[in-house]
Protein backbone atom coordinates (compact mmCIF):
# COMPACT_ATOMS: atom_id res chain seq x y z
CA UNK A 1 0.00 0.00 0.00
CA UNK A 2 1.17 3.53 -0.76
CA UNK A 3 -0.25 4.88 2.50
CA UNK A 4 -1.82 3.80 5.76
CA UNK A 5 -4.78 6.16 5.25
CA UNK A 6 -6.03 8.23 2.32
CA UNK A 7 -8.23 11.14 3.31
CA UNK A 8 -10.51 12.17 0.46
CA UNK A 9 -11.33 15.83 0.92
CA UNK A 10 -8.92 18.66 1.68
CA UNK A 11 -11.37 20.95 3.44
CA UNK A 12 -11.38 21.72 7.13
CA UNK A 13 -12.83 18.36 8.17
CA UNK A 14 -10.36 16.44 6.02
CA UNK A 15 -7.23 18.28 7.16
CA UNK A 16 -8.31 18.12 10.83
CA UNK A 17 -8.56 14.35 10.65
CA UNK A 18 -5.37 14.04 8.57
CA UNK A 19 -3.40 16.04 11.13
CA UNK A 20 -4.68 13.83 13.92
CA UNK A 21 -3.90 10.66 11.98
CA UNK A 22 -0.38 11.90 11.34
CA UNK A 23 0.06 12.42 15.07
CA UNK A 24 -0.93 8.78 15.48
CA UNK A 25 2.04 7.78 13.33
CA UNK A 26 0.00 7.01 10.22
CA UNK A 27 1.33 7.62 6.68
CA UNK A 28 -1.26 9.91 5.17
CA UNK A 29 -2.26 11.23 1.76
CA UNK A 30 -4.91 13.89 1.21
CA UNK A 31 -6.78 14.03 -2.08
CA UNK A 32 -8.32 17.41 -2.77
CA UNK A 33 -10.50 18.21 -5.75
CA UNK A 34 -9.52 21.88 -5.60
CA UNK A 35 -11.39 25.15 -5.65
CA UNK A 36 -13.82 23.84 -8.26
CA UNK A 37 -15.37 21.78 -5.47
CA UNK A 38 -18.40 23.04 -3.54
CA UNK A 39 -16.35 23.92 -0.48
CA UNK A 40 -18.47 24.39 2.62
CA UNK A 41 -15.59 26.35 4.15
CA UNK A 42 -16.52 29.30 1.94
CA UNK A 43 -19.56 29.88 4.15
CA UNK A 44 -17.84 29.14 7.43
CA UNK A 45 -18.65 31.62 10.15
CA UNK A 46 -15.92 30.63 12.58
CA UNK A 47 -17.99 29.93 15.66
CA UNK A 48 -16.78 27.46 18.27
CA UNK A 49 -20.25 26.96 19.59
CA UNK A 50 -22.04 24.25 21.51
CA UNK A 51 -24.65 25.79 23.82
CA UNK A 52 -27.61 25.58 21.43
CA UNK A 53 -26.71 22.30 19.74
CA UNK A 54 -28.21 18.91 20.36
CA UNK A 55 -31.92 19.53 20.87
CA UNK A 56 -33.35 16.09 20.05
CA UNK A 57 -29.93 14.42 20.27
CA UNK A 58 -28.17 14.64 23.62
CA UNK A 59 -25.14 12.82 22.20
CA UNK A 60 -24.59 15.65 19.73
CA UNK A 61 -24.74 18.16 22.55
CA UNK A 62 -22.13 16.19 24.50
CA UNK A 63 -19.93 15.76 21.40
CA UNK A 64 -20.11 19.50 20.64
CA UNK A 65 -19.39 20.54 24.24
CA UNK A 66 -16.43 18.18 24.43
CA UNK A 67 -14.97 19.57 21.22
CA UNK A 68 -15.52 23.15 22.36
CA UNK A 69 -13.65 22.36 25.56
CA UNK A 70 -10.89 20.59 23.59
CA UNK A 71 -10.32 23.69 21.47
CA UNK A 72 -7.84 25.17 23.96
CA UNK A 73 -5.58 22.18 23.46
CA UNK A 74 -6.02 22.22 19.68
CA UNK A 75 -5.19 25.92 19.40
CA UNK A 76 -2.17 25.61 21.69
CA UNK A 77 -0.70 22.55 20.01
CA UNK A 78 -1.24 23.87 16.50
CA UNK A 79 0.44 27.16 17.42
CA UNK A 80 3.35 25.36 19.07
CA UNK A 81 3.84 23.26 15.96
CA UNK A 82 3.40 25.95 13.30
CA UNK A 83 3.55 29.36 14.96
CA UNK A 84 0.11 30.14 13.54
CA UNK A 85 -2.41 31.66 15.96
CA UNK A 86 -5.93 30.46 15.15
CA UNK A 87 -7.43 33.52 16.87
CA UNK A 88 -9.38 31.29 19.24
CA UNK A 89 -11.27 33.26 21.89
CA UNK A 90 -13.53 31.62 24.43
CA UNK A 91 -14.98 34.59 26.27
CA UNK A 92 -18.53 33.27 26.09
CA UNK A 93 -21.18 33.70 23.43
CA UNK A 94 -24.45 35.62 23.24
CA UNK A 95 -27.54 34.34 21.42
CA UNK A 96 -29.15 37.73 20.93
CA UNK A 97 -32.93 37.94 20.65
CA UNK A 98 -34.34 40.96 18.92
CA UNK A 99 -37.95 40.63 20.08
CA UNK A 100 -39.75 39.31 23.17
CA UNK A 101 -41.10 36.45 21.07
CA UNK A 102 -37.62 35.45 19.94
CA UNK A 103 -36.43 35.58 23.54
CA UNK A 104 -39.32 33.42 24.77
CA UNK A 105 -38.64 30.85 22.06
CA UNK A 106 -34.97 30.83 22.94
CA UNK A 107 -35.67 30.31 26.63
CA UNK A 108 -38.08 27.46 25.86
CA UNK A 109 -35.61 25.83 23.48
CA UNK A 110 -32.77 25.94 26.02
CA UNK A 111 -35.06 24.51 28.71
CA UNK A 112 -36.00 21.56 26.49
CA UNK A 113 -32.32 21.05 25.64
CA UNK A 114 -31.24 21.07 29.27
CA UNK A 115 -34.03 18.69 30.34
CA UNK A 116 -33.13 15.98 27.83
CA UNK A 117 -32.00 12.64 29.14
CA UNK A 118 -28.35 11.83 28.57
CA UNK A 119 -27.09 15.40 28.56
CA UNK A 120 -24.43 14.68 31.18
CA UNK A 121 -21.60 12.17 31.07
CA UNK A 122 -18.27 11.78 32.78
CA UNK A 123 -15.68 14.02 31.17
CA UNK A 124 -18.26 16.17 29.39
CA UNK A 125 -18.43 19.86 30.31
CA UNK A 126 -21.85 20.78 31.74
CA UNK A 127 -24.33 22.79 29.73
CA UNK A 128 -24.16 26.24 31.31
CA UNK A 129 -26.15 29.27 30.24
CA UNK A 130 -27.79 32.43 31.57
CA UNK A 131 -31.00 34.15 30.50
CA UNK A 132 -30.36 37.88 30.21
CA UNK A 133 -33.14 40.44 30.12
CA UNK A 134 -32.84 43.66 28.17
CA UNK A 135 -31.14 45.61 30.94
CA UNK A 136 -28.57 42.92 31.70
CA UNK A 137 -27.83 42.39 28.01
CA UNK A 138 -27.23 46.13 27.65
CA UNK A 139 -25.01 46.16 30.73
CA UNK A 140 -22.78 43.47 29.25
CA UNK A 141 -22.98 44.75 25.67
CA UNK A 142 -23.32 48.56 26.03
CA UNK A 143 -23.47 49.17 22.27
CA UNK A 144 -26.41 46.86 21.71
CA UNK A 145 -29.51 48.26 19.98
CA UNK A 146 -32.28 49.76 22.11
CA UNK A 147 -34.91 47.34 20.79
CA UNK A 148 -32.98 44.16 21.58
CA UNK A 149 -35.18 42.11 23.92
CA UNK A 150 -32.47 40.09 25.64
CA UNK A 151 -29.98 37.29 25.16
CA UNK A 152 -28.87 33.86 26.22
CA UNK A 153 -25.25 33.72 27.33
CA UNK A 154 -23.06 30.63 27.49
CA UNK A 155 -19.51 30.80 28.90
CA UNK A 156 -18.32 27.82 26.85
CA UNK A 157 -18.94 29.41 23.45
CA UNK A 158 -16.33 31.27 21.45
CA UNK A 159 -14.94 31.81 17.98
CA UNK A 160 -11.81 31.40 15.87
CA UNK A 161 -10.36 32.40 12.53
CA UNK A 162 -11.19 29.54 10.11
CA UNK A 163 -8.65 30.70 7.53
CA UNK A 164 -5.79 30.66 10.02
CA UNK A 165 -6.99 27.33 11.38
CA UNK A 166 -6.96 25.95 7.85
CA UNK A 167 -3.51 27.44 7.18
CA UNK A 168 -2.21 26.02 10.45
CA UNK A 169 -3.33 22.51 9.60
CA UNK A 170 -1.81 22.70 6.12
CA UNK A 171 1.51 24.02 7.43
CA UNK A 172 1.63 21.31 10.06
CA UNK A 173 0.78 18.63 7.51
CA UNK A 174 3.54 19.85 5.21
CA UNK A 175 6.05 19.83 8.08
CA UNK A 176 4.98 16.32 8.97
CA UNK A 177 5.55 15.07 5.44
CA UNK A 178 1.91 14.34 4.74
CA UNK A 179 1.34 14.14 0.99
CA UNK A 180 -1.26 16.61 -0.24
CA UNK A 181 -2.52 16.09 -3.78
CA UNK A 182 -4.52 19.04 -5.17
CA UNK A 183 -6.69 18.81 -8.27
CA UNK A 184 -7.35 15.11 -7.66
CA UNK A 185 -11.02 14.38 -8.12
CA UNK A 186 -11.77 10.85 -6.97
CA UNK A 187 -13.93 8.97 -9.45
CA UNK A 188 -13.49 5.38 -8.29
CA UNK A 189 -12.77 3.50 -5.06
CA UNK A 190 -12.13 -0.24 -5.11
CA UNK A 191 -11.58 -2.65 -2.26
CA UNK A 192 -8.61 -4.90 -3.06
CA UNK A 193 -6.37 -7.21 -1.05
CA UNK A 194 -7.48 -5.91 2.30
CA UNK A 195 -7.05 -2.30 1.30
CA UNK A 196 -8.41 0.32 -1.04
CA UNK A 197 -7.44 1.62 -4.44
CA UNK A 198 -8.53 5.19 -5.06
CA UNK A 199 -8.42 6.48 -8.62
CA UNK A 200 -9.18 9.49 -10.79
CA UNK A 201 -8.29 10.71 -14.23
CA UNK A 202 -4.75 9.49 -14.90
CA UNK A 203 -3.83 8.54 -11.34
CA UNK A 204 -4.40 5.90 -8.66
CA UNK A 205 -3.21 5.40 -5.07
CA UNK A 206 -3.55 2.61 -2.52
CA UNK A 207 -4.06 2.60 1.24
CA UNK A 208 -5.10 0.31 4.04
CA UNK A 209 -7.87 2.66 5.11
CA UNK A 210 -9.76 5.56 3.58
CA UNK A 211 -11.67 8.44 5.14
CA UNK A 212 -14.39 10.13 3.12
CA UNK A 213 -14.33 13.78 4.20
CA UNK A 214 -15.36 15.33 0.90
CA UNK A 215 -18.34 17.33 2.13
CA UNK A 216 -21.10 17.32 -0.45
CA UNK A 217 -18.97 14.97 -2.57
CA UNK A 218 -19.39 12.23 0.05
CA UNK A 219 -22.87 11.49 -1.25
CA UNK A 220 -21.45 10.15 -4.51
CA UNK A 221 -18.35 8.51 -3.00
CA UNK A 222 -19.94 6.67 -0.08
CA UNK A 223 -21.85 3.99 -2.09
CA UNK A 224 -18.54 2.90 -3.67
CA UNK A 225 -17.58 1.40 -0.31
CA UNK A 226 -20.96 0.39 1.04
CA UNK A 227 -21.61 3.60 2.96
CA UNK A 228 -24.45 6.10 2.88
CA UNK A 229 -24.14 9.85 3.41
CA UNK A 230 -27.49 11.49 2.67
CA UNK A 231 -27.38 15.28 2.68
CA UNK A 232 -30.00 17.98 2.41
CA UNK A 233 -29.50 21.11 0.30
CA UNK A 234 -28.50 24.08 2.41
CA UNK A 235 -27.12 27.42 1.27
CA UNK A 236 -25.71 30.04 3.59
CA UNK A 237 -24.76 33.65 3.00
CA UNK A 238 -22.34 35.95 4.84
CA UNK A 239 -21.60 39.68 4.82
CA UNK A 240 -18.11 40.91 5.73
CA UNK A 241 -17.53 44.55 6.66
CA UNK A 242 -14.44 46.67 6.51
CA UNK A 243 -12.20 46.60 9.56
CA UNK A 244 -13.60 48.54 12.50
CA UNK A 245 -12.27 49.55 15.89
CA UNK A 246 -12.80 46.73 18.40
CA UNK A 247 -16.30 46.90 19.90
CA UNK A 248 -17.31 43.28 20.40
CA UNK A 249 -15.10 40.86 22.32
CA UNK A 250 -17.73 38.10 22.42
CA UNK A 251 -19.16 36.02 19.63
CA UNK A 252 -22.88 36.07 18.95
CA UNK A 253 -24.86 33.48 17.05
CA UNK A 254 -25.05 35.56 13.88
CA UNK A 255 -22.58 38.40 14.23
CA UNK A 256 -18.99 38.50 15.38
CA UNK A 257 -15.95 40.77 15.09
CA UNK A 258 -12.70 39.11 14.14
CA UNK A 259 -9.42 39.92 15.87
CA UNK A 260 -8.49 41.82 12.70
CA UNK A 261 -11.53 44.10 13.03
CA UNK A 262 -13.86 42.84 10.30
CA UNK A 263 -17.44 42.05 11.26
CA UNK A 264 -19.04 38.87 9.93
CA UNK A 265 -22.81 38.78 9.63
CA UNK A 266 -24.64 35.61 8.72
CA UNK A 267 -27.53 33.48 9.83
CA UNK A 268 -29.27 32.61 6.59
CA UNK A 269 -30.33 29.11 5.68
CA UNK A 270 -31.93 28.25 2.36
CA UNK A 271 -32.99 24.75 1.33
CA UNK A 272 -31.42 25.03 -2.09
CA UNK A 273 -28.16 24.49 -3.92
CA UNK A 274 -29.21 26.10 -7.18
CA UNK A 275 -26.29 28.55 -7.34
CA UNK A 276 -23.73 30.29 -5.14
CA UNK A 277 -24.47 33.90 -6.01
CA UNK A 278 -25.62 35.97 -3.03
CA UNK A 279 -29.27 36.97 -3.11
CA UNK A 280 -30.20 40.59 -2.55
CA UNK A 281 -33.25 39.92 -0.33
CA UNK A 282 -31.18 37.68 1.95
CA UNK A 283 -28.47 40.32 2.20
CA UNK A 284 -31.08 42.93 3.11
CA UNK A 285 -32.47 40.83 5.95
CA UNK A 286 -29.01 40.05 7.32
CA UNK A 287 -28.04 43.72 7.24
CA UNK A 288 -31.31 44.88 8.82
CA UNK A 289 -30.99 42.48 11.75
CA UNK A 290 -27.33 43.41 12.21
CA UNK A 291 -28.21 47.12 12.39
CA UNK A 292 -30.93 46.44 14.95
CA UNK A 293 -28.37 44.47 16.98
CA UNK A 294 -25.53 46.98 16.76
CA UNK A 295 -26.62 50.36 15.30
CA UNK A 296 -23.00 51.51 15.03
CA UNK A 297 -22.74 49.26 11.97
CA UNK A 298 -24.82 51.73 9.96
CA UNK A 299 -21.62 53.48 8.83
CA UNK A 300 -19.66 50.31 8.13
CA UNK A 301 -18.97 49.38 4.51
CA UNK A 302 -19.58 45.84 3.34
CA UNK A 303 -16.47 44.68 1.51
CA UNK A 304 -17.57 41.19 0.59
CA UNK A 305 -20.73 39.12 0.39
CA UNK A 306 -20.69 35.49 -0.50
CA UNK A 307 -22.76 32.34 -0.37
CA UNK A 308 -21.84 28.67 -0.28
CA UNK A 309 -23.34 25.24 0.14
CA UNK A 310 -23.22 23.67 3.57
CA UNK A 311 -22.92 20.05 4.58
CA UNK A 312 -26.16 19.25 6.37
CA UNK A 313 -27.66 15.82 6.93
CA UNK A 314 -31.47 15.41 6.91
CA UNK A 315 -31.64 15.74 10.72
CA UNK A 316 -28.74 18.20 11.05
CA UNK A 317 -26.54 15.85 13.10
CA UNK A 318 -23.20 14.47 11.90
CA UNK A 319 -22.49 11.14 10.29
CA UNK A 320 -19.59 9.06 11.57
CA UNK A 321 -19.45 5.46 10.45
CA UNK A 322 -17.28 2.65 9.19
CA UNK A 323 -18.39 0.45 6.32
CA UNK A 324 -19.63 -2.93 7.50
CA UNK A 325 -19.14 -4.37 4.02
CA UNK A 326 -15.67 -2.89 3.54
CA UNK A 327 -14.03 -2.37 6.97
CA UNK A 328 -11.41 0.32 6.89
CA UNK A 329 -13.60 2.73 4.93
CA UNK A 330 -14.89 5.58 7.11
CA UNK A 331 -17.28 8.43 6.35
CA UNK A 332 -17.42 11.77 8.15
CA UNK A 333 -20.00 14.45 7.37
CA UNK A 334 -20.96 17.38 9.56
CA UNK A 335 -22.08 20.97 9.46
CA UNK A 336 -19.85 22.38 12.20
CA UNK A 337 -16.33 21.89 10.88
CA UNK A 338 -14.84 24.56 13.15
CA UNK A 339 -16.60 23.65 16.40
CA UNK A 340 -15.87 19.97 15.88
CA UNK A 341 -12.31 20.50 14.61
CA UNK A 342 -10.87 19.73 18.03
CA UNK A 343 -12.57 16.35 18.24
CA UNK A 344 -11.79 15.63 14.59
CA UNK A 345 -8.12 16.34 15.26
CA UNK A 346 -7.66 14.96 18.77
CA UNK A 347 -10.28 12.23 19.32
CA UNK A 348 -11.55 10.73 16.07
CA UNK A 349 -8.13 9.92 14.52
CA UNK A 350 -7.20 7.62 17.39
CA UNK A 351 -10.30 5.57 16.72
CA UNK A 352 -9.73 5.44 12.96
CA UNK A 353 -6.12 4.41 13.53
CA UNK A 354 -7.30 1.62 15.80
CA UNK A 355 -9.79 0.51 13.15
CA UNK A 356 -13.00 1.01 15.11
CA UNK A 357 -15.20 3.94 16.06
CA UNK A 358 -16.25 4.18 19.68
CA UNK A 359 -19.67 3.07 20.83
CA UNK A 360 -20.38 6.69 21.73
CA UNK A 361 -20.41 7.56 18.03
CA UNK A 362 -22.82 4.77 17.04
CA UNK A 363 -25.73 7.18 17.41
CA UNK A 364 -24.31 9.07 14.43
CA UNK A 365 -24.49 6.08 12.06
CA UNK A 366 -26.53 6.75 8.93
CA UNK A 367 -28.77 3.79 9.72
CA UNK A 368 -30.89 6.29 11.63
CA UNK A 369 -32.20 7.45 8.24
CA UNK A 370 -33.17 3.94 7.14
CA UNK A 371 -36.71 4.07 8.46
CA UNK A 372 -39.21 1.86 6.59
CA UNK A 373 -42.06 3.76 5.03
CA UNK A 374 -45.36 3.61 6.88
CA UNK A 375 -47.84 1.13 5.38
Percent of the chain at pLDDT above 90? 83
Dist CA 31 CA 186 (whole Å) = 8
Mean pLDDT of the chain: 93
- Give mean pLDDT, residues 202-212: 96
The answer on pLDDT for 370 being more than 90 is no
**Maximum Cα–Cα distance for the chain, whole Å?**
67
- Give mean pLDDT, residues 94-112: 97
Length reported for the chain: 375
Burial class (CB in 10 A: 0-12, 13-18, 19+), 27: middle
The fold of the 232-312 domain, in CATH, is D-Amino Acid Oxidase; Chain A, domain 2 (3.30.9)
Produce one character per residue of 88-108: b if its CB has 16 or more CB atoms within 10 Å, e if not. bbbebbbbbbbeeeebeebee
Confidence at residue 42, expressed as pLDDT on a 0 to 100 scale:
61
- Is-contact 34 182, C-beta < 8 A? yes
The answer on pLDDT for 222 being more than 60 is yes
Percent of the chain at pLDDT above 70? 96
The answer on pLDDT for 276 being more than 80 is no
The answer on pLDDT for 201 being more than 60 is yes
Confidence at residue 271, expressed as pLDDT on a 0 to 100 scale:
81
Confidence at residue 126, expressed as pLDDT on a 0 to 100 scale:
95
Which residues make Cβ contacts (< 8 Å) with residue 150, sequence separation at least 6?
Answer: 97, 103, 131, 132, 133, 134, 136, 137
Give residue-wise pLDDT tens across range 161-178.
998 999 999 999 999 999
Dist CA 292 CA 143 (whole Å) = 11
- Give mean pLDDT, residues 129-147: 96
Give residue-wise pLDDT tens across range 287-346.
999 999 999 999 999 999 988 887 889 999 999 999 999 999 999 999 889 999 999 999
Confidence at residue 40, expressed as pLDDT on a 0 to 100 scale:
67
Give residue-wise pLDDT tens across range 23-53.
999 999 999 987 666 666 666 789 999 999 9
Which CATH number among 3.40.50.1100, 3.50.50.60, 3.30.70.100, 3.90.110.10 corresponds to the domain 3-44+163-229+315-369?
A: 3.50.50.60
Strongest mean pLDDT among 35-49, 124-138, 277-291: 124-138
Domain-by-domain residue ranges, the chain?
3-44+163-229+315-369, 93-155, 232-312
- Is-contact 263 240, C-beta < 8 A? yes
Dist CA 20 CA 14 (whole Å) = 10
Amino acid sequence: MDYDVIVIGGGLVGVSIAWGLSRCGQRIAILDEGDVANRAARANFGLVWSSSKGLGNAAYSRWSRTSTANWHRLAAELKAETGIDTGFVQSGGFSIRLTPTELERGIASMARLADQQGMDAEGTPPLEYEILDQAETRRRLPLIGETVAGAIFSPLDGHANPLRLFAGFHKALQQRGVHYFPHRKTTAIRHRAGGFEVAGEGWRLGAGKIVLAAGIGNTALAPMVGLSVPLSPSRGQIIVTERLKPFLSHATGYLRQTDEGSVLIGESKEATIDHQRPRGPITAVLAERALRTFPLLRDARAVRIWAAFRVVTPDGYPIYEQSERFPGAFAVACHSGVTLAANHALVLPRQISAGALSEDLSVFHSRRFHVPAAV
